[in-house]
């Protein structure tokens, strides 16, 4: 799953004919509340990496019972996050993602939605930290070339608001080129799931004199 609290990317991948399968902007309190559950986020992650999957198959990946997973999968489907894929042999009933990425705007007019977005953001950030800690604990078991390709960086930039918005737009456009590969049929040989985590925020606001200069421009 991909989510952003900063806002919605301006451009969808060029091969996305169905807008539901590009970016979905989550602004409704009930929809945000439906997603704000650690298991449901884990289910979406599993479907993004290995889907389509049945309730039994996804239960093996998240460590919960098929019955529990089936309930939460139906709830995710009810709110439009997933849908039934093509039925397989026998009674096989797989689920698949609908949107390739869900975006959660930080600023909104609905106070209830803002509260639910904060709850979802807190759960989502904890999941990201868990992923990073898992990599730190297991990274040495990966081939050396993948260990060398992975990295953990922190950058301090001095930028204007306009420059930050432009950097965000360019990052979203670049990463958007990879989103169609959530469809297994569009993955080139040799691809593996790679997680890229970004946090971008001001460390402090401009000083009063700097704000005055901004207003005079």
In this predicted structure, what is the pLDDT of residue 214?
52
What is the structure's pLDDT at 210?
Answer: 60
Are 101 and 2 in contact by the 8 Å Cβ rule? The answer is yes
Query: Confidence class of residue 212 from pLDDT cuts 50, 70 and 90?
Result: low
Per-residue confidence (pLDDT) for residue 193, from 0 to 100 = 94
Give the residue from 82, 83, 155, 81 showing the smallest Cα distance to 120. Answer: 81
Residue 103 sits at φ, ψ, to 5 deg, of: -115, 140
Residue 74's alpha-carbon distances to 22, 38, 78, in angstroms, are 21, 15, 6
Whole-model pTM?
0.74
Pick the CATH number of 3-216 from 3.40.30.10, 1.10.10.10, 1.10.287.1080, 3.40.50.150: 1.10.10.10
> Which residue in this structure is represented by tokens 């800690």?
133
Domain ranges of the chain: 3-216
Tokens coding 19: 């807008």
Q: State mean pLDDT over 55-75.
A: 96
- Give the mean model confidence (pLDDT) for residues 78-107: 81
Residue 175 above 70 pLDDT? yes
Cα 98 to Cα 19, 82, 185, distances in angstroms: 10, 5, 15
User: 150 falls in which pLDDT band (50, 70, 90)?
Assistant: very high
């Amino acid at each position: 799953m991909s989510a952003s609290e900063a806002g919605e990317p301006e451009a969808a991948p060029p091969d996305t004919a169905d807008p539901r399968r590009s970016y979905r902007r989550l602004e409704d309190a009930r929809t945000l509340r439906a997603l704000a559950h650690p298991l449901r986020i884990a289910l979406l992650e599993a479907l993004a990496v290995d889907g389509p999957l049945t309730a039994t198959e996804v239960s093996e990946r998240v460590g919960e019972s098929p019955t529990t997973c089936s309930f939460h999968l139906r709830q995710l489907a009810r709110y439009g996050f997933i849908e039934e894929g093509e039925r397989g042999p026998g009674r096989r009933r797989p689920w698949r993602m609908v949107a390739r990425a869900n975006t959660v705007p930080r600023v909104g007019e609905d106070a209830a939605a803002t509260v639910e977005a904060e709850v979802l953001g807190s759960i989502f950030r904890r999941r990201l930290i868990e992923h990073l800690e898992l990599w730190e604990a297991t990274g040495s078991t990966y081939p050396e070339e993948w260990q060398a390709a992975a990295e953990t960086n922190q950058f301090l930039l001095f930028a204007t608001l306009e420059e930050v918005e432009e950097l965000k737009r360019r990052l979203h456009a670049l990463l958007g080129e990879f989103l169609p590969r959530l469809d297994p049929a569009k993955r080139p040989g040799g691809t593996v799931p790679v997680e890229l985590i970004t946090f971008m925020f001001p460390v402090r606001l401009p000083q009063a004199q700097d704000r005055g200069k901004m207003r005079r421009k």
